[in-house]
Amino acid sequence: MPDHGSFGGNPLAFLEAELASLEAAGQRRRRISGKEPPALVLCSNDYLGYAAGRLILPPKGSPVGATASRLIAGDHPEHRALEAAVASWLGYEDALVFSSGYAANVGLLSSLLRPGDTVISDALNHASIIDGIRLARVQATIVPHNDVEAIERALKQAPLAGRRWVVTEGYFSMDSDQPDLRSLRALCDRYEAALLVDDTHALGVFAEEGRGTCALQGIRPDALVGTFGKALGGQGAFVAGPTLLTEWLWNRARSFVFSTGLSPLLAAANLAAVHMARQDEEGRTRLAILASRLRQALRGQGYQLIEGSVGPIIPVLVGPEEGAIRLSEALLRHGVRVLPIRPPTVPPGTSRLRVTVHARLTEEELEHAVDAFQKAHGEAGSS
């Protein structure tokens, strides 16, 4: 028998050592209760404040579960109503709803890309984009964050055979900046590439009717990914695009085909949230004002904010992991919860606190936040 190390009767025992090495590297995440005090949570993605205060009771007898993949169980009217609403909101022919943003990106990219294609992906793209590209077995060109020239160089060097794709987020969730989508659209048109944008964190937040960064910059990607789990306060996600694309995804996106359809209950809640977000200019204005006030206050207190950051995500750069943990703990002592974001989520040496505001923060809560940051600054001894 070959020696495979100590088995000890438990084939999962090796995980103890694996977890210990995460611990030693300071990367072991402990479970936390979403309900724990303190009162003020400044790290959610519920930018419009819909998740907690918006209870939509379904009519009696409404279906809860989709019961199977939609290829087996079929469409519920709630699915198609939601897809039609998303398509009309964002100006696309159609949309297809997935059970999460992770599934949407993985399904979209793994079904579209082929080995031999040129795939250009921003260095800070979300893990679900990275995993979708990996599943397609494509060697992607990873370009420095928001570097239009690097994208153009990669497009110029693309072999004639194979398709070309440029993949980016519309509002980066860890750096809170936005790519120059107008230039990317122009480059994609010039070099016959498709532009795929995941605008998850911008939908509901930016532009008229909350149509996101693409609308803000007046461009249309070839496919747009969005989720219902951020500003819309629900759960699930979609890919919007031409019917040709949604037909393809229905047939070939494995994370859609081999997964139970989104709960019709959630589809109905998401639909209500889309309608609400389209009309919620007041929420967007309040959100912009709150973000600008907190940003200004933190700068005034000497915190270093990430260059180019805009909107409701306010990343406070700390650097070393221990510093970010200390600052987060100090804030917690003063009744504010913001968890530290550390490697591997962000590059080593750029640990940060990803502070977010939401439109329903009261004046007292904002004051409380500013006060807590002031006190924590001295205690944590980090900027």
Ligand X SMILES: Cc1ncc(COP(=O)(O)O)c(C=O)c1O
Catalytic positions, written as ranges: 173, 201, 230
Stretch that binds ligand X, among 115-123, 198-206, 208-216, 258-266 (CB under 6 A): 198-206
Closer residue to ligand X in complex, CB, 89/102: 102
Contact pick of 173, 176, 213, 259 for ligand X (by CB under 6 A): 173
Residue window 130-169: x/- pattern of binding to ligand X, with contact defined by CB under 6 A:
---------------------------------------x
Nearest residue to 98 (alpha-carbon basis) of 107, 111, 88: 107
Residue 126 structure tokens:
């979300």
Tell me how far, at minimum, the Cβ of 225 lies from ligand X, in Å. Answer: 7
- Residue 46 touching ligand X (CB under 6 A): no
- Residue 213 touching ligand X (CB under 6 A): no
**Nearest residue to ligand X, by Cβ distance, number only:** 101
- Residue 121 touching ligand X (CB under 6 A): no
Stretch that binds ligand X, among 7-15, 96-104, 316-324, 359-367 (CB under 6 A): 96-104
Closer residue to ligand X in complex, CB, 354/368: 354
Closer residue to ligand X in complex, CB, 255/382: 255
Stretch that binds ligand X, among 73-81, 196-204, 282-290, 325-333 (CB under 6 A): 196-204
Q: What does the H/E/C string look like for the chain?
A: CCCCCCCCCCCCCHHHHHHHHHHHCCCCCCCCCCCCCCCEECCCCCCCCHHHHCCCCCCCCCCCCCCCCHHHHCCCHHHHHHHHHHHHHHCCCEEEEECCHHHHHHHHHHHHCCCCCEEEEECCCCHHHHHHHHHCCCCCEEECCCCHHHHHHHHHCCCCCCCEEEEEECCCCCCCCCCCHHHHHHHHHHCCCEEEEECCCCCCCCCHHHCCHHHHCCCCCCEEEEECCCCCCCCCEEEEECHHHHHHHHHHCHHHHCCCCCCHHHHHHHHHHHHHHHHCHHHHHHHHHHHHHHHHHHHHCCCEECCCCCCCEEEEEEECHHHHHHHHHHHHHCCEECCEECCCCCCCCCEEEEEECCCCCCHHHHHHHHHHHHHHHHHHCCC
Residue window 97-116: x/- pattern of binding to ligand X, with contact defined by CB under 6 A:
---xxx--x-----------
Closer residue to ligand X in complex, CB, 138/237: 237
Contact pick of 110, 121, 128, 328 for ligand X (by CB under 6 A): 128
Tell me how far, at minimum, the Cβ of 115 lies from ligand X, in Å. Answer: 24
Closer residue to ligand X in complex, CB, 229/323: 229
| Residues 26 to 45 in contact with ligand X, rule: CB under 6 A | none
Say which amino acid occupies 99: S
- Residue 198 touching ligand X (CB under 6 A): yes
Tell me how far, at minimum, the Cβ of 226 lies from ligand X, in Å. Answer: 9
Binding site for ligand X (CB under 6 A): 100-102, 105, 126, 128, 169, 173, 198, 200-201, 227, 229, 237
